[in-house]
Amino acid sequence: MTTRAEFMARIRAELGKTRGLPPATPARRPERPRVEAEAIRAELAERWPEALERFRHELEKVGGVFYRVATLAEVVPVVAGIARERAARRLVSWHAAELGGDLGPALTAQGLEPVAMPPGEVASAAERQRLRELVAAAELGLTGADLAIAETGTLVLSSGAGRPRSTSLLPPYHIALFDRTALVESLAQAGVFLELWHADGAPGPRGAVISFITGPSRTADIELTLTRGVHGPKEVHAIFVEASIRG
């Protein structure tokens, strides 16, 4: 049996491994986010392969899985392979317009049971409840990604019509699609795009929630035993599509 003194000593020893916090200053708020975002895009037009490689490296460091395909059609066998290896069939996805195309029929042909979210707001309480139950029961969640941050291997997803946050949070296996237009090199660059999304102050198509996803969900109890999948997906798969999938 562990004594109280031994228990506290272990906690102190584990806390002693934590590095000190790095120096930090508030980020500068971009005065002209649209101009700065266009400059970032122009720079990345030349060096996006390096940014993609860093994203892959950082994603894999935190337990994510990276794939690269040429076209949206090639996403289907990758998703089917992920499902097959995990004996999974039920899949929920963002609406086709939010993914760049309708993958439902092709996924069905691969033996999956896909359900796409509706394109707009759902007025009926009964229908909202039905969709919640479908998402909660699904094994796979298929989404796009608004940003992919190379510096940290992070996927950024904004909620909205046709793209509820539950699709990336509830299923145990999250699969996200993105193309080069989503790539940014750093958190600072991501901040420019966040500012751009809300620059005019007018309500837009994006919802109230922006999720930053850096690898699978992780948590640790007081004894620092790491567990995956308690507060979100236990696996995160990112599929880079070379052909543009965003309008």
Phi, psi of 55 (to 5 degrees): -55, -50
CATH number belonging to domain 33-241: 3.40.50.10420
Where do the domains of the chain lie?
Answer: 33-241
Q: What is the pLDDT along the chain (247 residues), one digit of tens a residue?
A: 678 888 888 877 777 776 766 777 777 788 899 999 999 999 999 999 999 999 999 999 999 999 999 999 999 999 999 999 999 999 999 999 999 999 999 999 999 999 999 988 877 888 888 888 998 999 999 999 999 999 999 999 999 989 999 999 999 999 999 999 999 999 999 999 999 988 766 555 566 789 999 988 666 655 566 566 556 689 999 999 999 887 6
Quick one: angle between helices 187-197 and 33-61, nearest 10? Answer: 130
pLDDT, residue 241, reads: 97
